[in-house]
Amino acid sequence: MDRDVQQLIEMGATVAQARAALRQYKDVMQAAEQIFDGKFDHVMDEDIEGDVAPLREHALRIQGPATPEDEEDAEADDSDDMDGFADYDSDDEFRAEPGKPLTDVDPYAGIFFSKDRREEVIEVEEEPDAEHIPEWNENRQLMSQGEWMKGCPEGSEQSFLFSLYSQLSEGQCACPHGCGEGVQRKKSDFFVLPPDFDKYIERLRKLVIRNCHKCKKQYCFACGEPINSASTRETSTTSDDPLFHCANLQGVILGIGLFLVEQMYSDQIQEGKTEQSTVAGNSKKRKSETQLPPPLTNGVDDDDDVYYASSVKGKKAKSGIGYAGDVREDMSGQVEAQALQRARDEKLGHLLTAVRWYLPSLRRPGGGRTSDYLVHPTALAHLRRRFNHICSSLLKNDSLSDMSDRSVLYRELFDWLETISHHEALASMMAMPIMVVVSVKAVTTRKGINSSHPVRERTIVYEGSSGPRELLESLVIQAQAAMKSLEKSSKASEAEDEEMTEEAKRVTNESKGKGKEIEMPEDSRKLLGFCKRILATADAIDRFLSETKGTVFVERLHASLPKISTSSKETVHVATGATEEATKDIYVEWATQARFEYCDLSIPPGDSEEDAEDQVPNYKFYYNNEARTLANTDIPKRSLAIAKELAVLTTNLPVAWDSSIFLRVDETRVDIIKALITGPAGTPYHNGCFLFDIFLGSIYNQSPPSVKYMTTHGGKYRFNPNLYADGKVCLSLLGTWSGPGWVSGKSTLLQVLISIQSMILCDEPYLNEPGWAGGAGTPQSQAYSANVRRMVVRTAMLGNLKTPPEPFADIIKTHFRLKANSISEQLDEWLSQDDGRPIAADGAPYGMSKQTPGTSDNGLRQDIEETKRILTQLQNESASGSSSS
């Protein structure tokens, strides 16, 4: 029973009420309902000898606000008065164990908890009541208690929410001057849902200051404390605003305000879906296969419609493939859609700005007010359950270009993050995982106790996901990549100026004045400014966290942030005897960090006079000549497109145990790119490493990139009907195959890479040849796949291990070392499936005599044995290196 009592206490009951309710109702939830309905309000703690209610007492401490001027007096009267506003974010609970120095205690062990955390919460959904509001001359819904507490998986935060709701929606607010007069509170005073936030604030401002009818003195209707007008300061616009008088007002304003923000955001998402459906309905004549794939959303499925709006984990949709038929993409309506999105963003941004004004902030013009110092415990609860939903959704946008176009909204989001991180009571939220709904386990409907409306109870399952600062770091990585690209184009422009004639330089300098500035197109300047804003926000947050939480907090936070590797040469070890799941986790973590890097792809100049005079370097690259032709040239549209492209690629290249994509970009020429794709599971390409050279040409992205397949066994092997021995890649996106292809300004290199990974490196490559498209499962298809497997082992596995292509030597070795056991088992299976035929370099399965599988000496067995020897050698080297370190 003690456990049930504790659960009810966390929900806001006293010990006496909890025990009395449980004696009458054995079920905890039934007991809670009766307590919430007021049936046990008459039961006092003193009714049960020895009973105390520490948590209830703790929650009710919020009723005694203190102004900044009275802080010293408050501390003298009762040093614990502020505890109710700090314990939910306090480090006092961390104590040294007996015999252990306090310096060894990690003060943030309770803040940085695992994202694997899982909570089940029963939430109540009830029909809201309505009441006529004279000021607005209309009936408005009232926020129900279930809606007020909805989305909160934390027991302690639930008690604070319940306490504030109960205090401000019922009972009498007595005059604090001792005259015996009082005013009855009702739900519509504080919990009415307004037509807009400004009207709510205007009504609340008139409502909160009460003049006692009996003693004629003023007091606050929210906290029941006197309003001392003599102590108000005249130095700021908030000095006379009664809405900053107490913490209770802050709690209710943020609760209603963030509810309105979340509601507007959800409505806008639905509006966007409706608009997309309308556009799709107007385009029914187009074949569904011609639709461009939806933008990647970094794991967020916008169509997920669960009980509580949240960012639900999901699989990233593969895109850039499946085109068929000679039809152009219909781009009509795009400008109109962008205008509508801009209008929605401005509306939401305005509301966010209005609500942000009531966040606790000691940097408020004229200094902090009472509620800025005395933060209500529900403030953190409101932010974590409502603001975090919007924050995570916006920060998971994988398109830096889209975010830049929507800067009016994103800049306001950054202001929120900075404000939150600068207040000690809220700052830890930046590192806390965001709890999101993953499922609704059970739904039951029952009759309401005090209402004719039915009440639904839902068992909601919450799981931890990336916190706000972690999500922001992904944008930081993208912004740094975009800025690096834009800087390269600026340097190219500088180099062009240096090659100008003296007369041209003189004219240019005269026109520009003394200070030389690099002309940058408006779109590029806009993107650059937005990237700088992202970096400034991250720096400000880290600086504020250092000030409020300490350097240890920030160091631990940074250790958990996503990173891109500065060098893939760092050795990754797997402990001896590690489970397959542990090995997979290590592989994915390594691949995530190593998937994108800058490197030097240039060829060092020789000693000849010709090499010394040639200022344009050569590159280890198929498109070397084309790259040299564009050296020191700046094409603004191209530069901007590359900047946007690289920003997305830094954090969105798919990585998985089954298949990954790795990219290497030249550090001085961001248009020179090399890609390595590991063959997907379930295909004859599985675990092979396939290299591609990619060049973003002079009119990128008005036209597609140039892509050359390099893993061809010296130009001899054709691995797929779409991968020629000479390196040609057949894909409609690249214009090398029939069907709708590249759409200027919309198609991306990421789509090309995923298309190759998913549709070319497929399970039955035989079917990629149009004339063979109907041969699924036929002997010819099986023979084609067997032939591909032999080529993969000889070239994409063994060949790459013996002579790793630059710059992927370390990637290839780590890939095969971490997956050595799995690959060995795969090779044994491939050998047993082999049909015994020799390798057909052109891939054709015809003209070969049938032989008993596995009996001929086609070299596969020898290739597999040599591959296994190298795998064992790599594992032994790693084990010795790990033990020595």
* Beta bridge partners of residue 174, listed in sequence order: 182
Q: Which of 123, 10, 54 minimizes the C-alpha distance to 442?
A: 123
DSSP 633: -
Q: Rounded CA gap, 346 and 478, in Å?
A: 24
Q: Rounded CA gap, 491 and 471, in Å?
A: 31
Q: Rounded CA gap, 702 and 747, in Å?
A: 9
Q: Apex CA 454: angle with CA 262 and CA 166, to 5°?
A: 60
Q: Rounded CA gap, 800 and 75, in Å?
A: 71
Location of structure tokens 């990549």:
481
Q: Which of 381, 382, 383, 363 minimizes the C-alpha distance to 372?
A: 363
Report whether 651 contacts 477 (CB < 8 A). Answer: yes
Pinpoint the alpha helices (H) of 732-777.
749-755
DSSP 471: H
Q: Rounded CA gap, 431 and 113, in Å?
A: 9
Selecting among 179, 215, 599, 730, the annotated active-site residue is: 730
Q: Which helix (H) or strand (E) holds 439?
A: strand 434-447
* Termini Cα distance of the chain: 53
Who's near 581: CB < 8 A, 6+ residues apart? none
Report whether 134 contacts 203 (CB < 8 A). Answer: no
Q: Rounded CA gap, 161 and 204, in Å?
A: 19
Q: Rounded CA gap, 539 and 531, in Å?
A: 13
**Backbone dihedral region of 492: left (phi > 0), alpha (psi from -120 to 50 degrees) or beta?**
alpha
Report whether 524 contacts 636 (CB < 8 A). Answer: yes
Location of structure tokens 């959904």:
125
Report whether 19 contacts 51 (CB < 8 A). Answer: yes
Q: What is the token pair recorded at 426?
A: 């809220």
Catalytic status, residue 730: yes
Report whether 177 contacts 230 (CB < 8 A). Answer: no
Q: Rounded CA gap, 318 and 637, in Å?
A: 27
Measured CA distances, 719 to 675, 711, 737, 762, 795 (Å): 17, 9, 17, 11, 10
Q: How many residues does the chain have?
A: 885
DSSP string for 515-542: S------HHHHHHHHHHHHHHHHHHHHH
DSSP string for 664-722: EEESS-TTEEEEEEEBPTTSTTBT-EEEEEEE--TTTTTSPPEEEE--STTTT---BTT
Residues annotated as catalytic (active site), given as ranges: 730
